[in-house]
Amino acid sequence: MPINTCYPIGTRKSKLAVIQSEIVHKQLKENHPEFDFPIMSRDTIGDEILSKALFEFKHQVAKSLWTRELEALLIVNQCRMLVHSLKDLPVEMPKGMTIACIPRRNCPLDAIVFPKGSPYKSVANLPPGSVIGTSSIRRRALLARHFPHLRFFDIRGNVGTRLSKLDDPESPFSCLVLAAAGLFRLGLKDRVSQMLSAPFNYYAVGQGALAIEVREDDKEIIELLKPLQDTETTYCCVAERALMKRLDGGCAIPIGVQCDSLAVSSSSFQVSLDGIVVSADGLRSAFASGNRVINSIEDAEDLGTQVALSLLKNGAGPILAEHHRSSDSEDSTKQA
């Protein structure tokens, strides 16, 4: 037996974060039954400052909201890996950190959840003035594009908290928009009334995928994580993240994507990537798409960058500049 047999997994404390770590734990045990992978959970700033809408945070702060405290555990070797939702990770990883592995993706789509007992089954049927609960500027902008008669209120907290706010008879919300993957992992599939997909809705970069973050120099854990890597998911997510990186987007910017892939051999995939950038009011948008055969991470990055450049050619620049201006000034955070 090697001397080191214990590789702790670090995670946020929310129920979803812990379930996601358990998914990774199970896959690690299947591949390495001789080792232990205890789960250690911690609170992060993102969990503590629940009263602020996400897009009110400064761009740079928003990028590391969910991850900074956990990375400290990696640095001091108290944890060997962190399990995150990929969409919560910044496109530029902090110095010394890397994504070792992206396992197989769950459903990447957004879903609509109505309160228990609601007569509605579709957002399209909601009467004018109905209130949609979401703190995501992307979800708000994309829905406003189709339904200018609906209103949007922020809602924060973990998925369980949001659902109890929704079900409260005093609640202003007619429905919530949540990631289907999170609801599925929490065993709440029966709460999903409607799935939102392209060309009507586009999901967040990396949505539905997990990412395992490690110290870049920890070759031992990188090796142990190799069997958990899903090549098809990785190519799609790398393309999506390259698109966002080229547009300098964080979670305060309404960029939506839709990525589809088809295996053409065991190691190459035909990948098509659609991207959309929307103004906060949903009135203006830029769209672009691209597709190519992907054989490597570099190919995937190239696809994402190409779609980003097409987006800029199609008018994404001024829309993005507007968002950067409003998230950089102190007093214009409630623009929509």
Ligand X SMILES: NCc1[nH]cc(CCC(=O)O)c1CC(=O)O
x-marked contacts with ligand X along 140-169 as a string, rule CB under 6 A: -------------------x----------
Strand partners, 176: 113, 133
- Interface characters, 205-244, with ligand X (x: CB under 6 A): --xx------------------------------------
Buried b (16+ CB within 10 A) or exposed e, 282-314: bebbbbbbbbbebeeeebbbbbbbbbbbbbbee
State which of residues 85, 194, 201, 233 lies at the interface with ligand X (CB under 6 A). Answer: 85
The one catalytic residue among 12, 47, 63, 88: 88
Q: How many Å apart are CA 117 and CA 104, to the nearest integer?
A: 34
CB 280 within 8 A of CB 254: yes
The SS3 assignment for 287 reads: strand
CB of 274 to ligand X, least distance (A): 18
Is 251 labeled as catalytic in the residue annotation?
yes
278 binds ligand X (CB under 6 A): no
Residue 304 near ligand X by CB under 6 A: no
> Which listed residue (91, 99, 144, 181) binds ligand X by CB under 6 A?
181
What's the CA dihedral at 85, 89, 95, 101 to 10 degrees? 40
- Which residue's CB is nearer to ligand X, number 181 or number 316? 181
Place of tokens 């991850």: 67
DSSP code string of 296-326: SHHHHHHHHHHHHHHHHHTTHHHHHHHHHHH
Lookup: tokens for 321: 């500049």
Is 151 part of the annotated catalytic residue set?
A: no
Q: Which is nearer to ligand X, 141 or 178 (CB)?
A: 178
| 179 scored as a contact of ligand X (CB under 6 A) | yes
Stretch that binds ligand X, among 37-45, 175-183, 274-282, 293-301 (CB under 6 A): 175-183
162 is catalytic: yes
Q: Which of 323, 322, 294, 292 is nearest to 310 (CA)?
A: 292
Q: Is 145 a catalytic residue?
A: no
Residues noted as catalytic:
87-88, 138-139, 156, 162, 251
- Which residues are at the interface with ligand X (CB under 6 A)? 85, 87-88, 159, 178-179, 181-182, 207-208
